[in-house]
Amino acid sequence: MSKIRFYIENHLKDKGYKLQQFSEIADINVGTLSAIIRGTRLISMNQLDQITSAMGLEQGYFYEMYGVECFIESPPHWRRLEPYIHRCAELDKLDIIQQVIIHVTDDQSYTDELFDVAESLYNKGMNESALIIYECVADSEKYQHSERLALCQYRIFLLHKTLSKFDNFNASVKFEPYIDKLNEEVQLDAIKDLANVYCAIHLWDKVDVWSRELERKAEFQLKFQSRRRKNKKRLTAYPLFTYAAYANLLISCVYEARKEYEKALKYIEKYLKIIEIQNPTQEDQKLIDLFRIWGEGSQYAFGLLLGQENLISPYLDYIENNPLEILSGFITILQSANRYSFNIDYALNRFENQINLFNTNMQIKSGYNDQMLNSMYQEFYYELASYQIKKRNYSIGIDALLICLDLTSSSKDDLMCVKCLDLYGEYRSEANETQMKNYKNVIEKLSLPTF
């Protein structure tokens, strides 16, 4: 006998309900309810939820039993399986989804439908549930070379990103071989996302390679754009010209990392020319304005990094007018100050309130993913610590250094961690008791020996 039917019958006996009474409470036709209890009629998800509520149990109470009875011990029927997955996802019952999907994907006849459900969940932001299905679908197709398998791997790559550099590197390397199997337009977004991850973990040679590949593929798509049917649905997240522009922006970041600022400026100038398109749509214009803002900021930034101290004041005005650029802007200002011994106390004082909101929930994330934002915060606090320590403002500097060191525990950024440890070791005699205690706590979190 079905466990669910057994629970229902016991509930009726315990409460002393007649079938008619319970059917009214559950709002289910008495004949239908009778057939469900006798086992001559399959129970639907809506009916299961109604019965669960009528019994005073929490929603989803019977989902695990239902999954075993309907999809594991019996041949699954898609008409019941699809709403079951959606309801489990809504209630965040991930273990149950995993248990059922692993069994169902043994039969590849449901692969198409399961992929569509994963896409639906992904579009609704139910990422953890979607990831379970993508992984099972990908595993069932691992010996094939289909576009669907590549799209599964793309979604898995997007959903697997964490704050850990090691995890993101592994996810990126695993995803790379599937890019060419994606639709040619979808490849543009995939390469952009891949390059962004490599940028966040500072693998600049990888960023260089994939940025140039993005530029090549974007230019190819642009050449054939005019030949497409006007009513053909665009598959890219953004207009095509933006991918060519963004590729050059990424290449400028590569040269910035290599401290070749004059070359970086040339690629900024190149992408500013790319965005000069005729008859832009409203969407185009919004992106053009954004690229121009980035371009203006980059020109100030690279000028500063080349030692042009006179650019600090106009750069601060630019940042004030574009508050989403405060974090990246101050990283550059601090880097130039540390390199050329500029005094930027007035800049730090001017933006003191905004800087105090860094690394809090009030900090606007803009277009940065969590991993990239974490990396930028580390860079900011390390540069701030270096600046304040050089000015002998040891208390402020060591506080900033400890924030940076703590952030490395989330990202597992070994290089930045070593830099922080070296700087702290050099000035640990200047730390007060509270800072020494905080340092010890961070070190314990990092599982490192104390100095």
Same domain for 235 and 218: yes
Same domain for 391 and 279: no
394 occurs within a structural domain: yes
Cα radius of gyration rounded to whole Å, the chain:
28
Last residue of a domain, one of 249, 271, 306: 306
Same domain for 333 and 264: no
328 occurs within a structural domain: yes
**Where residue 232 falls among pLDDT bands split at 50, 70, 90?**
confident
Indicate the range of 71-80, 228-237, 251-260, 285-294 predicted with least confidence.
228-237
As a whole number, mean pLDDT of residues 71-100 equals 91
Q: What is the pLDDT of residue 434?
A: 95
Torsion, Cα of 170, 202, 131, 127 (10° steps): 160
95 occurs within a structural domain: no
Contacts of 49 (CB under 8 A, 6+ apart): 59, 87
**Sign of the C-alpha dihedral computed for residues 414, 418, 419 and 424 taken in this order:** positive
At residue 345, φ and ψ (nearest 5 deg) are -55, -40
408: its two tokens = 């490395």
Q: Say whether pLDDT at 362 is over 50.
A: no
Last residue of a domain, one of 306, 341, 356: 306
As a whole number, mean pLDDT of residues 254-282 equals 95
Same domain for 326 and 208: no
Q: What is the pLDDT of residue 163?
A: 64
Same domain for 301 and 320: no
Say how many domains are in the chain: 2
Q: Say whether pLDDT at 130 is over 90.
A: yes
| Cβ neighbours, 10 Å, residue 413 | 23
- Give the domain extent around 229: 193-286+294-306
329 occurs within a structural domain: yes
pLDDT tens-digit profile of 241-250?
999 999 999 9
| CA–CA separation, 129 and 85 (whole Å) | 9
Same domain for 302 and 332: no
Q: What is the pLDDT of residue 1?
A: 42
Residue count (the chain): 451
Same domain for 265 and 302: yes
**Where residue 360 falls among pLDDT bands split at 50, 70, 90?**
low
Q: What is the mean pLDDT of the chain?
A: 90
Q: What is the pLDDT of residue 226?
A: 65
Same domain for 448 and 327: yes
Same domain for 317 and 270: no
Q: Which residue has the higher pLDDT, 240 or 142?
A: 240
Q: Write the secondary structure of the chain as one string of H (helix), E (strand) and C (coil).
A: CCHHHHHHHHHHHHHCCCHHHHHHHHCCCHHHHHHHHHCCCCCCHHHHHHHHHHCCCCCCCCHHHHHHHHHHCCCCCHHHHHHHHHHHHHCCCHHHHHHHHHHHCCCHHHHHHHHHHHHHHHHCCCHHHHHHHHHHHHHHCCCCCCHHHHHHHHHHHHHCCCCCHHHHHHHHHHHHHHHHHCCHHHHHHHHHHHHHHHHHCCCHHHHHHHHHHHHHHHHHHHHCHHHCCCCCCCCCCCCHHHHHHHHHHHHHHHHHHCCCHHHHHHHHHHHHHHCCCCCCCHHHHHHHHHHHHHHHHHHHHHHHHCCCHHHHHHHHHHHHHCHHHHHHHHHHHHHHHHHHCCCCHHHHHHCHHHHHCCCCCCCCCCCCCHHHHHHHHHHHHHHHHHHHHHCCCHHHHHHHHHHHHHHHHHHCCHHHHHHHHHHHHHHHHHCCHHHHHHHHHHHHHHCCCCC
Q: Say whether pLDDT at 189 is over 80.
A: yes
Q: What is the pLDDT of residue 369?
A: 63
Is residue 97 within 8 A of residue 64, CB to CB? The reply is no
Is residue 111 within 8 A of residue 140, CB to CB? The reply is yes
Same domain for 359 and 274: no
As a whole number, mean pLDDT of residues 332-346 equals 97
417 occurs within a structural domain: yes
Question: Among 314, 213, 214, 211, which residue's Cα sits nearest to residue 253?
Answer: 211
What amino acid occupies position 117? V
Q: What is the pLDDT of residue 364?
A: 47
125 occurs within a structural domain: no
Same domain for 280 and 229: yes
| CA–CA separation, 248 and 348 (whole Å) | 31
Last residue of a domain, one of 239, 271, 306: 306
128 occurs within a structural domain: no
Q: What is the pLDDT of residue 408?
A: 86
393 occurs within a structural domain: yes
Same domain for 330 and 268: no
